[in-house]
Amino acid sequence: MFQRDPPSSIGAQISLKELCALHNLADKSADDEIDWMNQSDAMSLKDLGLAEPCRGGWAITARGLAVVRAQPEAVGPGLTR
């Protein structure tokens, strides 16, 4: 059986920029407004099973939500949520 890394280890493997994008998708799923989504970040998140394309652009997956819950806020120089 194929086993994936736990959400906490996935969060450690993605860049701060991707983690910020993942938090933005979590906000979007909660019906909060987000500005835009970097396509490169979205594709990276898709490859990890954390996001998926949808009619409205991109949506966070259940696995992506688990990573967001396991990680602190994504904030860094030049990055805001």
Return the domain boundaries, the chain.
7-70
Q: Tens digit of pLDDT for each residue in 10-40?
A: 545 788 888 888 888 888 776 666 666 788 9
Q: Which two structure tokens, joined as six digits, stand for 63?
A: 């696995």
CA dihedral for 36, 39, 40, 44, sign (positive or negative): positive
pTM: 0.71
Q: Is 27 left (phi over 0), alpha (psi -120 to 50) or beta?
A: alpha
Q: Which two structure tokens, joined as six digits, stand for 6?
A: 């736990």
Q: Is 48 within 8 Å of 12 (Cβ atoms)? A: no
